[in-house]
A = this chain, B = another copy of it.
Amino acid sequence: MTLNVALLGAGRIGKVHAKAIEATAGAQLFGVADAMVEAADALAKAYGAKVLSIDEIEASSEVNAVIICTPTDTHSDLIERFARAGKAIFCEKPVDLSVDRVRDCLKVVEETNGVLMLGFNRRFDPHFQAVRAEIDAGRIGDVEMVQIVSRDPGAPPPSYIQSSGGIFRDMTIHDFDMARFLLGEEVETVQASASALVNPEIGKLGDFDSASIILTTASGKHCSISNSRRATYGYDQRIEVLGAKGAVSAENQRAVSIEIATADGYLRPPLHDFFMTRYTEAYAAEIAAFVAAVESGTAPSPNGQDGLKALLLAEAALKSIEEKRVVAVSEI
């Protein structure tokens, strides 16, 4: 059987997922929907798929699964709708920026026995997967402390800030999920500091561009997250896990690994400058994992609950900054 996948949203990330579907054995891009018809049309043509409306996708008995890449504020409605329609759902993070809305939406998914996978793509990065595999293999013993450095090449325009939900819900959300992926234990408390060092305009809008966060678990494990919206040397994404027997880390990635030695010293090129080139393999692997889960009838991971839990950490971080104290996740 071939899984017929419909794509909702033919934008930047939609194109990445369309390519991933086509590259996945056992799945094909069946239809594409987008408010901008030209975008849907171009993508459909490139892969021999149909241009469909959302209604048509919902009604089609041929469509087995949907990939939701539409704007954030449409996610939860679409999830509910397609859960009720019995389609397997892959949705870009977040489910919603509101915790209450996410909870309601996940209730619908649960009631409908819906299949929902959330697009925390970094879990599928081969390097981060290898780190997780070493932990699982017992190579570093019990996990004690996790360090995550996550820095964007440059800050988004202030206009984006407002719709994004702010740095914690938009950017750090990935790191919160990565922390949970690596700690192997739920986070109990959050404390954070943040400031606008890169662009004061971001600060005026009530958001931050530089943040330091500490997470702790019930057994006393820690995770430190360091975020900045500006790393001139590229897309800086490092993880390191200290355990009782050792540590394991994943280095940064660059397009080419050459080195130039001159009188100035030894120079290696900057890192990838864009999350799409940095996480090319991860995007392909997460779609392959979604297809495999749907085809085998197993529950996909990460799921809606993972999305909710990461969002709770973002809310806790915000509360911690506001109240200048350690915040228990259970307070949110």
Contacts and interface: CB of A to CB of B under 8 A. Distances in A.
A245 B228 CA distance: 13
A270 B259 contact: no
Nearest to A256: B130
25 contacts: A127-B256, A127-B257, A139-B262, A140-B260, A145-B197, A147-B226, A189-B193, A197-B244, A198-B244, A210-B220, A211-B222, A212-B216, A224-B226, A228-B242, A233-B246, A233-B262, A233-B265, A233-B266, A247-B260, A248-B260, A250-B256, A250-B257, A264-B267, A264-B270, A266-B267
Contacts of A147: 149, 226
A244 B260 contact: no
A206 interface: no
A231 B270 CA distance: 24
Interface in A113-161: 126-127, 129-131, 134, 139-140, 142, 144-145, 147, 149, 151
Nearest to A139: B260
Of the candidates A134, A230, A256, A270, the one having the most CB atoms from chain B within 10 angstroms of its own CB is A256
A192 B325 CA distance: 10
Contacts of A258: 127, 130-131, 134, 248-251
A267 B267 contact: yes
Nearest first, the 10 closest Cβ-Cβ pairs linking A and B are: A195-B220, A246-B262, A233-B261, A325-B325, A324-B326, A130-B256, A266-B268, A212-B222, A232-B263, A247-B261
A125 to B, nearest CB: 9
Contacts of A223: 212
B265 A270 contact: yes
A233 to B, nearest CB: 4
Copies of the polypeptide in the assembly: 4
A265 B269 contact: yes
Interface of A: 126-127, 129-131, 134, 139-140, 142, 144-145, 147, 149, 151, 189, 191-193, 195-198, 210-214, 216, 219-224, 226, 228, 230-233, 242, 244-251, 253, 255-270, 324-326
Contacts of A242: 151, 228, 231
B216 A195 contact: yes
B266 A270 contact: yes
A249 to B, nearest CB: 5
Contacts of A251: 257-259
Contacts of A198: 144, 244
Contacts of A231: 242, 247, 261
